[in-house]
Structure 1
């Protein structure tokens, strides 16, 4: 009775205090109540506990661990009276709260019996102010009912955000940021050479941030799964893998291991602590050997080159080769330049890639390709001093090699842009070289998607490439006879990775979609038949309701089709007016059509926003000319598309409140956010994460500022193109900004230094413009720490709630006003 009187008295005082704050009282009129739990009385070995206090049965019962989730098994109760029970004992009463936006609340729980209250598993003290992040929450009351006695239970919630709150919501719940954070990643598939086994990985993140990664080998014939032992790589033939084990004497034993039996067959015993990749039908091991460069006094450091600020830049990579037949290790390269190698299948030829730095010439790093005859150790030069080449790999015929590079590679033979713009170095092309004749054939000159990675099938002789294909990631096949590209049909629109079985026409891949999480499939390359191997969607998404998603493209004033897509809130009502968020690319890659990202579009929609994702000029995957618009533009074409697209989307969709539109982006997208506010006033609020405010200072100070500028500002520098560097700089145009901007930045960002946000924030403060600046300490360009990532995301959610939903509660809870001047 003392607990009841105390609670009622507090409730009266609290209610009187809340009335002035125009809070709303919500009475919980439906609960689920469990039957009493049967609990045995413990045997007391003493009359008192370790503190000398006598044991009380009620205390023991209230402290007994019980899974609070069991409230969901209870029966529905719509009366405040808890009926008497012959047995008596511990019972659980529970209900749910769903809030679409951040909310503060107080709760009053009144009962004639002893009780404790828990919200999302954490004990709640009556009347204390708590916060609810958007989502669905369990409220459970732990009750101790006396034998044969009825009790009462009433619950009231006081809140100023009742418009966001639903008690005991029906149906599926909304998608939250925690669903992403505490989610699952699946992929990394690789097939054995014979195609019977597939290795894959699953990574789960627990609440709190602990990550657990499991690696499995699946027998595609029987469905059995095995745990690989120290997996190195698949054997070149058959269905075994190469693994290793350590002997007591320190030797490393490499073995061929049968996944099904775990039995090993010796391959090589290494007593030299070597580590590398088996190649040339497992007859050779290619070893990368790091040579440490000279070190300075740790207290003073002379910067030799711009990249000398980066840890490890002075070290050099050289190549060695182990022949297990003789046990001899050959040193293939030595010198001041990094070198890498790939070996032909027959082991006779070695392709050496030698990297040279030249700070006086764009793009500042150059590649020379050498063809080394392993028997004679004679090297011929295939390509000299090319700054636009990437990786290279052998074809199965031991004669041709595949070269990756931008359109400017190899003298520009792959360029296909009639406008003559400088191509984007991020748009990746493929070339085929005949090492006998030196002839080079561009394979993607008339192919718009951008190459990510490629494999050649030994089974059918064709190339298979994972590509940026507009806002998709798709697999394409190149018929090596007709040189014709065709898309491989896949169920998932965004393929994360794929693998080929070396000697069987079989492909495996993992992928996701805009509204679905990871799945793993195999595809028979002869018939095209796809088989679903693992589906993680039901486990993650069955209880979640997502809003409508769809494509929305428009014809720009330049005559282009600018692609985009939209996301609508769940339970969308076309008669309402919704605020909108606009998002666009950072770097140069398009914004992919995937579900899992810390820029989570379905989560934004669940918060009550219409979301418009646009693919403006300058991103890769749409062809060379489209990608080249990023170069020497710094916002020119991209901003035009974003502004025009936003205006047209609002005009065609009357459910968007065009006075409540926000925009956000990161890195180059952060620059774009700042730049947009200097040329338009259509946005009511903006967020720039790790954005560039002054191209000249970023060029000179960012770890990769000068090298990224070789992409975005080819051959342009502060001294020869001040109009680009300052004329399109948000900092130099800060006086034109009138939109409230939030600047977010990792405190340890080495890519885009924090000074880029600092100086723009300083400028707007001097100008008296509305802005805020939040640093995430200890984080680099990407905010990856679990707890800090949540606070970072909630910061910009709160910012947009303040300006687009006219509710500053979340922002003021995170960043209360400080009376400092």
Structure 2
């Protein structure tokens, strides 16, 4: 590595520009995108940029310390809508592409988001959280002072709960608001509420003539007890709603074909519960018949590659070709994501796939060109143009100054054979300033999910640990996406079984093949399922000298009732609900084996984590401390399950510093 480059620091992620949401202009000669960074006030800031494809530098279209995003052009390119928090909450704004100030279109009490053009530019469709009796024609956004007063009054009132789904990690405790679809008539400046059911409506697409709106929701009377999500067709003229996907299943990412005759969407029928691969379906609107294009592919459609340096929206498809004959989408495969094309005859073609992470794309039908958002282990993000018969062309130079200054380690890809012959993929990072003949401490990183995937993307936490002088190993044990349906489903009802063996096989492989690892100084860490597995590891082996468990599960008996997903996830993943076989859930719980723990353990948990609630960390800490084990508990205020990825920047830094402190002390 160049001698003039310094090591990565815990707060370096705050210096990164994170690009997202590329969108072509209607003529295909330029595109826009969102850039997110952290300002000096410890806030995430997003602004919109315009980039002419003839080679000019990107030009900022918005400025300031707000969150501006989701820019969409009118069909003729003369105007654009976007959402912005410049008044406090996200609202919809209109901008002339010829220049000038943006005009605020919505002042909804609880905000408005995700605008889309309709009726050839005569109206705009958007989503808004509304109370059941809300009047969209008389909305008014509260002032900052009014919002604070309302929030303070709400805290003084008891919360009356009568639904199973009364909280979520993303939103906290639910209220009586539901996400509804609203249309704004630009000429008459009037609002029309299109949906009103007691359910959240997720906008998907609108037909070319503007009459039919696609949305996803669960409108069943049993919605409180189901995880299903169906596609609905709304006739905006008559308000009639048709269910296109009756039955058990999850459907999303739906899009009309350009001729309006078909709908493409992703989904599945929970055949393997939460481990089921997405399939690509085509719904024929004339016949009502459904066809599955992806039945023989055995790959996960969409982007499941995880990291800690991705913010903002991403289009992963499916997107129709202009001639209605094929679809484009991102898929997850063996530690990478790539851009694929599928014909209606079920032919699958790879348009772009290398050892990296395609996190978003835009497609222009007339030019048949793509803008790809790509991240690599040594480059957080950049945009590239992909054209037929032309080499991939880089368009941006994001974070150039940062990468010139800071050393980034390139991972070595590993192929590991498990005890039973299954092949496992992993990666190893050598430490900053690596020297031959020197021994280094080692850290095993375990991902969450468990149905997620490590791979070829930028991961600040991994780079930081390597910068601190550790050999870092991360692998995809069985249960991970990217290796087919059998592999991703193999962890179900076997937590702490073959998945644990996979991780230990990987550690054995690293010790055997890399003599610079000091086998007396091994550490382990992970979050969510990775936190569960960290707990399991230290309660089933003493080979690790230090461990950090993050937002973990320690007791499946209580997890069933306290997590926002526990009442169904426990059955999905372990095969049993609480009353089915409580003894079995206890057998799966690391807390049962706490007396075996000899490894110094640091427990990190967010106070507002509703996915793996903090009581999971509390139980583990109290049990270990009561036995006088070497344990420490760090509780992060105002932090949800997403702390490590999109939490408050200052708390993200604190979290990383605690991890480094613990390993430095014990390794």
TM-score bin (small chain): 0.7 to 0.9
1:303 has 2:164 as partner: no
Distance 1:585 1:232 in 2: 30
Q: How far off its partner does 1:660 sit?
A: 1.4
Q: How far off its partner does 1:733 sit?
A: 1.7
Distance 1:245 1:687 in 2: 39
Q: How far off its partner does 1:311 sit?
A: 3.3
Q: How far off its partner does 1:225 sit?
A: 4.6
Rg: which structure is higher? 1
Within-5 A mapping of 1:457-472: 457-459=320-322, 461=324, 462-472=326-336
Within-5 A mapping of 1:401-420: 401-406=263-268, 408=269
1:278 pairs, out of 117, 126, 130, with 117
1:632 has 2:482 as partner: no
Q: Which deviates further from its counterpart, 335-344 or 494-503? A: 335-344
Which position in structure 1 is the counterpart of 2:358? Answer: 495
1:701-735 CA deviation, whole Å, 9 max, x = no partner?
A: 12333344364345x21111334411010011212
Q: How far off its partner does 1:551 sit?
A: 0.4
1:762 has 2:622 as partner: yes
Indicate conservation of the 8 Å contact 1:187/1:520, yes or no.
no
Within-5 A mapping of 1:797-812: 797-804=660-667
2:73 pairs, out of 208, 212, 235, with 235
Indicate conservation of the 8 Å contact 1:634/1:724, yes or no.
no
Distance 1:269 1:519 in 2: 32
1:334 has 2:167 as partner: no
Which position in structure 2 is the counterpart of 1:475? Answer: 339
- Seen in structure 2, the aligned counterparts of structure 1 residues 477 and 264 have a Cα distance that, compared at 3 Å, is farther
Which position in structure 2 is the counterpart of 1:746? Answer: 606
Which position in structure 2 is the counterpart of 1:186? Answer: 19
1:447-505 CA deviation, whole Å, 9 max, x = no partner?
A: 21332430424445432212232322322222x24422222226771122221224331
Q: How far off its partner does 1:745 sit?
A: 1.1
Distance 1:662 1:270 in 2: 52
Indicate conservation of the 8 Å contact 2:357/2:457, yes or no.
yes
Distance 2:57 2:359 in 1: 25
Higher RCO, Cα 8 Å, sep 6+? 2
1:607 has 2:468 as partner: yes
Distance 2:92 2:164 in 1: 43
1:642 has 2:642 as partner: no
1:777 has 2:637 as partner: yes
Which position in structure 1 is the counterpart of 2:259? Answer: 397
1:510 has 2:510 as partner: no
Partner SS state of residue 535, structure 1: coil
Indicate conservation of the 8 Å contact 2:38/2:649, yes or no.
no
Distance 1:392 1:724 in 2: 40
1:433 has 2:290 as partner: no
Q: Which deviates further from its counterpart, 646-655 or 173-182? A: 173-182
Within-5 A mapping of 1:186-225: 186-205=19-38, 209=42, 212-221=45-54, 223=56, 225=58
Partner SS state of residue 534, structure 1: coil
Equivalenced residues, count: 610
Indicate conservation of the 8 Å contact 2:231/2:252, yes or no.
no
Distance 2:533 2:207 in 1: 45
2:349 pairs, out of 456, 463, 486, with 486
Q: How far off its partner does 1:585 sit?
A: 1.2
Partner SS state of residue 790, structure 1: helix
Q: How far off its partner does 1:402 sit?
A: 1.7
1:585 has 2:447 as partner: yes
Q: How far off its partner does 1:211 sit?
A: 5.0
Indicate conservation of the 8 Å contact 2:265/2:318, yes or no.
no
1:655 has 2:655 as partner: no
Within-5 A mapping of 1:16-95: none
Distance 1:227 1:719 in 2: 57
Root-mean-square deviation (Å): 3.5
Partner SS state of residue 127, structure 2: strand
Indicate conservation of the 8 Å contact 2:281/2:290, yes or no.
yes
Partner SS state of residue 583, structure 1: strand
2:131 pairs, out of 292, 303, 306, with 292
Distance 2:5 2:179 in 1: 54
Distance 2:531 2:443 in 1: 14
Q: How far off its partner does 1:743 sit?
A: 0.7
Distance 1:695 1:307 in 2: 19
Distance 1:244 1:799 in 2: 44
Q: How far off its partner does 1:374 sit?
A: 4.9
Distance 1:745 1:282 in 2: 47
1:622-650 CA deviation, whole Å, 9 max, x = no partner?
A: 22111112333333232121011111221
Indicate conservation of the 8 Å contact 2:276/2:485, yes or no.
no
Indicate conservation of the 8 Å contact 1:619/1:626, yes or no.
yes
Which position in structure 2 is the counterpart of 1:112? Answer: none
Give the TM-score of the pair, scaled to structure 2. 0.82
Which position in structure 2 is the counterpart of 1:678? Answer: 539
Q: Which consecutive unaligned segments of at least 5 residues does structure 2 have?
A: 63-67, 85-90, 134-152, 304-315
- Seen in structure 2, the aligned counterparts of structure 1 residues 694 and 357 have a Cα distance that, compared at 3 Å, is farther
Distance 1:365 1:244 in 2: 31
- Seen in structure 2, the aligned counterparts of structure 1 residues 368 and 225 have a Cα distance that, compared at 3 Å, is closer
Q: How far off its partner does 1:396 sit?
A: 1.6
1:406-449 CA deviation, whole Å, 9 max, x = no partner?
A: 3x25xx5xxxxxxxxx3434643321111222222222223213
Partner SS state of residue 245, structure 2: strand
Partner SS state of residue 589, structure 1: coil
1:388 has 2:213 as partner: no
Q: How far off its partner does 1:205 sit?
A: 3.4
Partner SS state of residue 307, structure 1: coil
Partner SS state of residue 173, structure 1: coil
Distance 2:627 2:131 in 1: 50
Distance 1:683 1:265 in 2: 57
Indicate conservation of the 8 Å contact 1:208/1:786, yes or no.
no
Partner SS state of residue 496, structure 1: strand
Give the TM-score of the pair, scaled to structure 1. 0.68
- Seen in structure 2, the aligned counterparts of structure 1 residues 317 and 242 have a Cα distance that, compared at 3 Å, is same
Q: How far off its partner does 1:544 sit?
A: 3.1
1:153-195 CA deviation, whole Å, 9 max, x = no partner?
A: xxxxxxxxxxxxxxxx953322222333333323332111221
- Seen in structure 2, the aligned counterparts of structure 1 residues 749 and 456 have a Cα distance that, compared at 3 Å, is closer
Q: How far off its partner does 1:692 sit?
A: 0.5
Which position in structure 2 is the counterpart of 1:555? Answer: 417
1:482-540 CA deviation, whole Å, 9 max, x = no partner?
A: 4222222267711222212243312112222112232221111x224321111225311
Which position in structure 2 is the counterpart of 1:665? Answer: 526
Distance 2:340 2:402 in 1: 29
Indicate conservation of the 8 Å contact 1:216/1:225, yes or no.
yes
